[in-house]
């Protein structure tokens, strides 16, 4: 599923291509992202929302194909193609985005997401396991399976650790890893694990930098121990049992 880095990549690219154009005669004034949702703002106060889910793609000025679910045509003759192989993704036009935006936790790359704020957030969820908590969109926005694995590896924290067991310096390590991993992933235009492509049909490069995600039984890049995979609440977690001790 496209996570924050992938959706942010799409947002940045679309902002360059479609802002100022008209869709059904209505001018596009901005392209935003909230968590994993892409928001295209129109001058009439409405917004077009996209959630790509597992296999969704947004391709700019492309041709419809077998998995195309919608084509959005702009006034200059260009278009935006929405593909979705397994049809879990969605798009809709809404009048008020604020109610949807309120459903999510803070954006981890915003300046107001500070170490102090993160400490306070965790203090209210002491019994939670850290891996599922990082993926909880109401707790923090945009982090999913890929980046929670990579963040916890960088921080040296086992995915099953409960918040109450984390020391101050360990929380600081997680906070720092969130910023570093997500910023690097955005710079590399996200991870193309399955179907993710940017709006030009290109794959993201961050998969080359994965340390543990989808590397089960491969050598840990730090110590050489075999990467393990376990299930937590129906989701996979990849980690090094030596570098990330429980």
CA angle 151, 142, 33 (to 5 degrees): 140
Residue 119 is predicted with a pLDDT of: 97
Residue 233 is predicted with a pLDDT of: 87
Q: What crossing angle do the helices spanning 168-187 and 115-123 adopt, rounded to 10°?
A: 120
- List the domains of the chain with CATH numbers: 4-101 (3.20.190.10), 115-191+207-239 (1.10.8.50)
Task: Quote the CA–CA distance of 55 and 40 in Å, as a whole number.
Answer: 20
Residue 193 is predicted with a pLDDT of: 85
Catalytic site positions: 2-3, 36, 235
- Using an 8 Å Cβ cutoff, are 62 and 201 in contact? yes
Task: Quote the CA–CA distance of 144 and 166 in Å, as a whole number.
Answer: 21
pLDDT < 70 positions in the chain: none
* Tokens coding 62: 């492309």
Residue 88 is predicted with a pLDDT of: 94
Residue 48 is predicted with a pLDDT of: 97
Return the percent helix, strand and coil in the chain, to nearest 5: 30, 25, 45
Residue 194 is predicted with a pLDDT of: 83
Backbone angles phi, psi at 240, to 5 degrees: -100, 120
Burial class (CB in 10 A: 0-12, 13-18, 19+), 231: exposed
Pairing of strands 56-60, 68-73: unpaired
């Amino acid at each position: 599923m496209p996570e924050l880095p992938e959706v942010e990549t799409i947002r940045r690219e679309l902002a360059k291509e479609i802002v100022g154009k008209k869709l059904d005669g209505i001018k596009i004034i901005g392209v935003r992202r909230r968590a994993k949702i892409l928001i295209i703002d129109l001058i009439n106060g409405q917004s077009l929302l996209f959630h790509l889910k597992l296999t969704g793609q947004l391709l700019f000025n492309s041709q419809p194909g077998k998995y195309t679910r919608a084509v959005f045509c702009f006034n200059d003759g260009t278009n935006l193609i929405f593909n979705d192989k397994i049809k879990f993704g969605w798009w809709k036009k809404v009048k008020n985005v604020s109610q949807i935006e309120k459903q999510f936790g803070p954006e981890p790359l915003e300046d107001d997401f500070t170490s102090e704020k993160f400490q306070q957030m965790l203090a209210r969820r002491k019994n939670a396991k850290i891996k599922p908590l990082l993926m909880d969109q109401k707790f923090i926005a945009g982090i999913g399976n890929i980046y929670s694995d990579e963040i916890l590896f960088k921080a040296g924290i086992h995915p099953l650790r409960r918040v109450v067991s984390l020391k101050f310096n360990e929380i600081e390590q997680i906070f720092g890893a969130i910023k570093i991993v997500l910023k690097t992933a955005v710079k590399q235009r996200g991870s193309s694990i399955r179907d993710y492509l940017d709006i030009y049909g290109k794959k993201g490069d961050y998969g080359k930098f994965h340390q543990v995600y989808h590397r089960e039984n491969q050598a840990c890049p730090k110590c050489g121990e075999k990467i393990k995979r376990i299930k937590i609440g129906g989701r996979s977690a990849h980690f090094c049992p030596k570098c990330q001790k429980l």
